[in-house]
Each structure stands twice: as C-alpha cells, then as structure tokens.
C-alpha cells in the first residue's frame, strides 16, 4: 500500500506527491534561470532556457490561465498568463521569468501559510475514534464505532480515545480532556462520571455505558461544526469574493485600453504594452482575496484552541463589535448543580411526603432541580413510591404541573402559583412551593454553585471595553441578585419568561452589539436573536444547535480572550486591505507614467500578498 491509507492512493497522498513534484520542478526552474546569467550562451539558447524556466515553474498556472481565457473566467491565473505570454511576445523573456518565478514563490508560501492556519483545525477534526471495545456477555469485541447503540457497555482501555459520549459504571482513571475543552490539566473520573467522545483515557481501564450514538456524540458534532465554520462566510469575506469576480475583468479591459489608446495617437507600441503589463500584474487582487479568508480562518483556529467553536467566519465580525454581554444564570454563571438547602412543610405533612410529590413531578425533567431532588432522596435513604404522573407539563420559567393519584400537583415558583390561581400569603420568591389540589403543602429552598472564576469575569470584560454586563434569568429576584453581587454585573432582570427574555435582549441590542450566553431550552429564542450567542458545552442540544458558538470548555473566563482575538483579526483585515490598496495605487500610477518596471509590479502583487499572508497568520 506504499504507506497510504487505502489499497488505492488516497486523495491526500496524491496531493502530497503532486506538491513535492511542483517544488522540485520549481527548484530546477530557478537553476535554469540562474544559469542564463552565469554561463555565456547564444541568445537563441538563452531564449530556450527562459521558456523552459517559465514552463517548469508555471506550467499549471499557464494551462489554467489559458483555459480560463477561453471560458472568460478572469482569475489571478488568467492575469499572470496574459502578462507572461505578452512579455515573451515582446521579447522581455527575463521579465516573463521573474513574473512566473515570483508568483510561484508566492503560491508556495501561501500553501505553507494555509497549512499552518489549518493545524489547530486538523487537531480538532482528528478526534473521532474509528473502533470501540463492546462488552458482550463478559467478552470484549472490537467493532466499528458507528455500530454502538445507546445503552451498550463499552471498555475504554488506557491510552485509548473515548469513542462515544458515555457514563462510567466501574473503574477510575485520569482523562485528558484538552482536545475537547482546551483544559490541559487531566480530569479524574470514577463511577457515574460523564465522558465525552474525543477525550483520552490516560491510565486506568473504564467500563462505561454509551449515552449517545457516534453521530450524536460530542466529537462528531465538533467536527461537523468545524466544516460548517469553513463554509459560513462573513460579510467582508463575501464582499471580497464578489469584488474579485467583477474587479479582474475590469482590470483586463483597462490594461487593453492602456495598450491600445496611446498607439492610436502615434505613441510607441512596445512602450505602452509594457506599461499595460505593469498595470495588469500590479492590479492583481490576490493579496486581498487570499489574506482576508486566511485571517478569518486563522482566527477560528485560534479561538478553537481556547475551547470555543464558532460556526463560521460570518460571526467573527459581530463578536468583534460587541459592547454588551448578557448571561443566563442557572447552568451558565452557575454550574447548574443545585442542593436543597431547606425543606419546610405545612401542618399535617412530613418532609418525606413533600419530597415524594416533588420527586415524582421532577423525575421526567432535565432541569438541575431534578438532580438535586434525587440527591436529597438518596441522602435521606428514602424509599420513594414511584407514582404515575398524568398530563405532565413543564411551564418554562415557572415550574411543573401533573396529576398524581388523581390529584392536581404543582411544584414551582410564585409565577406558577399565580398561573394556576393558588391562594397564598407571605410568599417568599426565593422558594419553590409544592401544591396539591390547590393547597400549599410545603416549600423548598435551593442553593446553587457559582462557576469557578466568574467573580473576576465582569472585570476582565470591562477591561477590554465591554460597556455593560447583564443577567437575564427566569429565576427569582433574590437568587439572581445573590449571584449578581458576587460577579458585580450592571443590571439584573429576574423572573423572566422566554418571551420576556427576548424583549430584554432586543432592547439591549438597540444600545449596541450584544452577546448572550446561555445553556437551556428556554434560552433558545434569545440565543437566536442576539448579535452573537454562546451556548455552554454542557448545555442542551437545542441551545447548542441554535447558538453561533459553543463553549466546549465551559470556562467563561476565556470569553474576554475570544473577544480580543476577534478584534485583533478585524484589525488585521483592515490593515491588509488598506496596505494592499495603497501600494497598488502607487505602483499603478508609476506604471502608467512609465517609471515602474515590471519587477515592481510583481512586488505590488506577489510581495504585497506575502506580507499580508504573514500578517494574517500572526500568532494570537
């Protein structure tokens, strides 16, 4: 198989061989060109060597250029081909060789630059496992990872990649999560720990239960997002693409006019054709056409290294202009893990009875409260009666309704009580109430854990120019203000229903470009409506689908760095475009006046392209 990945050579292997051949031919072309200056040769032989130089260094460019001329497809290859052929017809063989050699050098350096910008993306794409160890009746069978079904038992050996999202059922180990979250410190896992596909098991063997299929697992979704990001162009990138399609034929027409019009009034033909060639070469837009997408692509790679995936370059521009940032609370600023702080009951009911109603209502919910109830039941070592819940309904921002044992049961906040017309006195908005057949039988006070490091997050955001930080939450005011006091946001809007959150985000957008960070189903409308949206990596699937980006690392402290990277990228774009246009204008004017040789025109094209490419791939 000659070291290739298949019986037949794969596309990548063929491209590598082709790339090596082109570099060898390019090297020979330089040697042949240099020999024309070192060795004394007849002029006819020198001309032959010039033609060999042009063909070795640019046979593919010239072939593509000739094809494009007949197709009326005016790209940079077309411009270079016209310039080289015209130079040869005029007897300016040295100039023709310089054009093709410098252009070829630009192509090689551009290829290297693109490879460098692709490195971080390639590391992300290479996170999908091919095989998995499935445990069948205590026997281990190696299967294609696509054959894994939810509920299958799998074995992850030391050094192996986690094949699908799963839960540990036995064993313990340290896990390298860096390829998924960007976190370099290994994570210790044990029974009941969650693993994401693409993570690496470092030392112990782990028996796990698959919780997602291969197609729906984290690694596959990340790879899909990477390809989606490459295809979603921003406004600047789309403009440059459209601009080049119109610009190139206009340049060719102008070059023809520069060559023809002066000769009609008796001026020297050769002189004005030379000036037209200078104009043609210098005006090539490749410095802009190449550097703009390259800078944006490099930006996506740099951001992915930090632990965030952006779904396309079109979102970078909005992110760079952000002035306001709004956060959901539960599962975003907090870990989403809740604990029952206090249980109170009304006369005639025990804590166990109140908990039992809550447990049965919450058992079908994915809300963080559900896991806290489960944890409390386990702590009390309660034997819970599993009762059927009819007409189950989750009311976003309010709570849950269901019929248990033919009784209307509610568990939620003051809004839920108001919605169902429950009579009450001295309601505490910081509590969730249990109601059976219209009567409050108890209440629960919950406390939640603030994410590590968010206490300095707002200060970091203000330091980079974010003008306002806001909390938008469906939770009660007291709980929201408690979190707000810790992280020092500017405004808190609590007790919001999804439509009210949407109203608030639209008001904030009127004041400036707004980022929203959330994680839940009820955040989806706001994630879709904001100028730039971030979904927490451990958030709901619908939130991840709707958001413009996914914070795979779940580390909010990288958000200021992400904004800085996007701003730096947009600054690089503006610099590249301004520099390219200024140099080209100066050389074009000099060319028309006859004081710019063709090598200077080549610099205005290839040289400027190289400078802008190097500027685009600067380390972040």
Average pLDDT for residues 421-441, to the nearest whole number? 89
What is the residue-wise DSSP string for 399-460? EEEEEETTEEEEEE-HHHHHHTT---SS--TTEEEEEETTEEEEEEEEEEEEPTTGGGHHHH
Residue 195 carries which DSSP code?
A: E
Highest mean pLDDT among 113-122, 291-300, 490-499: 490-499
- Give the Cα separation of 119 and 18 in Å (integer): 20
pLDDT, tens digit (0-9, with 9 covering 90-100), for 115-163:
655 555 555 555 667 889 999 887 899 999 999 999 999 999 998 989 9
pLDDT computed for residue 85 by the predictor: 82
- Give the Cα separation of 283 and 293 in Å (integer): 19
List 165, 328, 519, 561, catalytic entry? 328
* CATH of the domain spanning 336-449: 3.40.1110.10
pLDDT computed for residue 148 by the predictor: 92
pLDDT, tens digit (0-9, with 9 covering 90-100), for 157-180:
998 989 999 999 999 999 887 666
Give the pLDDT band of residue 7 (cuts 50, 70, 90). very low
pLDDT computed for residue 124 by the predictor: 52
All CATH 3.40.1110.10 domain ranges of the chain, comma separated, are 336-449
pLDDT computed for residue 115 by the predictor: 62
Distances from the Cα of 279 to the Cα of 83, 233, 250, 273, 379, angstroms? 10, 30, 12, 10, 81
Give the pLDDT band of residue 322 (cuts 50, 70, 90). very high
Highest mean pLDDT among 8-22, 25-39, 53-67, 584-598: 25-39
- Give the Cα separation of 209 and 166 in Å (integer): 5
Residue 162 carries which DSSP code?
A: P
Distances from the Cα of 91 to the Cα of 77, 261, 410, 475, angstroms? 21, 22, 91, 80
pLDDT value at 1 more than 80: no
Q: Please, what is the end-to-end C-alpha distance for the chain in angstroms?
A: 40
- Give the Cα separation of 115 and 12 in Å (integer): 13
pLDDT computed for residue 6 by the predictor: 44
pLDDT computed for residue 489 by the predictor: 92
- Residue 248 burial (CB count, 10 A): 22
pLDDT computed for residue 240 by the predictor: 60
Query: From the CA atom positions of the chain, what is the Rg in Å?
Result: 32
All CATH 2.70.150.10 domain ranges of the chain, comma separated, are 131-213
Give the pLDDT band of residue 464 (cuts 50, 70, 90). very high
> Closest Cα to residue 234, out of 297, 313, 321?
313
Q: What token pair was written down for 396? A: 């976003």
pLDDT, tens digit (0-9, with 9 covering 90-100), for 242-267:
666 677 778 778 888 988 999 888 88
Q: What is the mean pLDDT of the chain?
A: 82
Class of domain 131-213: mainly beta
- Give the Cα separation of 551 and 308 in Å (integer): 4
Q: Of 619 and 190, which is predicted with more confidence?
A: 190
pLDDT, tens digit (0-9, with 9 covering 90-100), for 331-343:
889 886 777 888 8
Distance, CA of 598 to chain centre: 42
Phi/psi for 428 (5° steps) reads -100, 115
pLDDT, tens digit (0-9, with 9 covering 90-100), for 276-287:
888 877 777 767
Give the pLDDT band of residue 5 (cuts 50, 70, 90). very low
Is 54 in contact with 84 (CB distance < 8 Å)?
A: yes
Known catalytic residue at 328: yes
Name the β-bridge partners of 155.
133, 207
pLDDT value at 78 more than 50: yes
């Amino acid at each position: 198989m000659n070291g290739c990945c298949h019986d037949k050579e794969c596309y990548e292997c063929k491209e590598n061989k082709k790339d090596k051949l082109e570099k060898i031919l390019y090297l020979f072309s330089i040697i042949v060109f240099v020999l024309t200056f070192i060795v004394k040769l007849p002029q006819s032989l020198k001309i032959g060597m010039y033609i060999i130089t042009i063909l070795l260094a640019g046979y593919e460019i010239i072939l593509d250029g000739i094809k494009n001329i007949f197709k009326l497809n005016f790209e940079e290859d077309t411009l270079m081909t016209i310039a080289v052929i015209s130079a040869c017809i005029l007897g300016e063989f040295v100039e023709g060789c310089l054009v093709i050699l410098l252009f070829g050098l630009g192509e090689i350096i551009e290829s290297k630059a693109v490879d460098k910008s692709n490195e971080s993306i390639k590391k992300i794409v290479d996170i999908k496992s091919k095989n998995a160890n499935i445990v069948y009746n205590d026997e281990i069978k190696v299967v294609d990872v696509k054959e894994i079904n939810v509920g299958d038992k799998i074995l992850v050996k030391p050094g192996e990649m986690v094949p699908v999202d799963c839960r540990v059922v036995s064993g313990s180990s340290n896990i390298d999560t860096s390829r998924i979250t960007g976190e370099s410190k290994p994570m210790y896992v044990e029974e009941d720990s969650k693993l994401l596909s693409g993570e690496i098991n470092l030392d112990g063997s782990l028996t796990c239960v698959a919780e997602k299929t291969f197609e729906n697992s984290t690694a596959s979704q990340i790879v899909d997002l990477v390809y989606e990001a490459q295809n979603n162009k921003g406004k600047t990138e789309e403009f440059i693409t459209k601009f080049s399609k119109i610009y190139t034929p206009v340049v060719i027409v102008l070059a023809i006019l520069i060559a023809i019009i002066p000769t009609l009034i008796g001026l020297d033909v050769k002189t004005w054709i030379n000036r037209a060639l200078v104009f043609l070469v210098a005006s090539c837009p490749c410095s802009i056409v190449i550097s703009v997408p390259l800078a944006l692509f490099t930006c996506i790679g740099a951001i992915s290294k930090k632990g965030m995936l952006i779904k396309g370059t079109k979102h970078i521009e909005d992110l760079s202009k952000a002035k306001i940032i709004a956060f959901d609370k539960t599962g975003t600023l907090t870990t989403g893990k809740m604990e029952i702080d206090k249980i109170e009951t009304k006369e005639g009911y025990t804590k166990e009875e109140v908990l039992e109603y809550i447990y049965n209502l919450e058992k079908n919910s994915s809300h963080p409260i559900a896991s806290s109830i489960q944890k409390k039941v386990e702590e009390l070592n309660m034997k819970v009666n599993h009762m059927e819940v009819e007409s189950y309904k989750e009311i976003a921002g309010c709570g849950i309704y269901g019929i248990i044992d033919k009784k209307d049961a509610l568990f939620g906040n003051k809004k839920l009580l108001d919605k169902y017309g429950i009579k009450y006195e001295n309601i505490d908005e910081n509590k969730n109430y249990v109601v059976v057949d219209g009567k409050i039988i108890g209440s629960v006070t919950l406390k939640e854990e603030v994410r590590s490091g968010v206490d300095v997050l707002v200060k970091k955001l203000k330091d980079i120019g974010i003008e306002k930080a806001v909390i938008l939450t469906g939770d009660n005011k007291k709980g929201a203000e408690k979190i707000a006091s810790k992280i020092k946001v500017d405004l808190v809007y609590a007790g919001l229903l999804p439509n009210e959150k949407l109203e608030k985000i639209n008001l904030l957008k009127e004041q400036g470009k707004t980022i929203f960070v959330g994680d839940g189903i009820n955040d989806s409308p706001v994630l879709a409506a904001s100028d730039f949206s971030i979904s927490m990596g451990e958030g709901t699937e619908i939130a991840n689908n709707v958001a413009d980006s996914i914070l795979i690392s779940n580390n909010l402290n990288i958000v200021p760095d992400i904004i800085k990277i996007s701003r730096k990228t947009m600054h690089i774009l503006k610099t590249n475009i301004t520099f390219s246009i200024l140099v080209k204008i100066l050389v074009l004017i000099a060319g028309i006046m006859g004081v710019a040789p063709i090598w200077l025109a080549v610099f205005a094209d290839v040289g400027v392209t190289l400078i802008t490419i190097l500027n685009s791939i600067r380390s972040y």
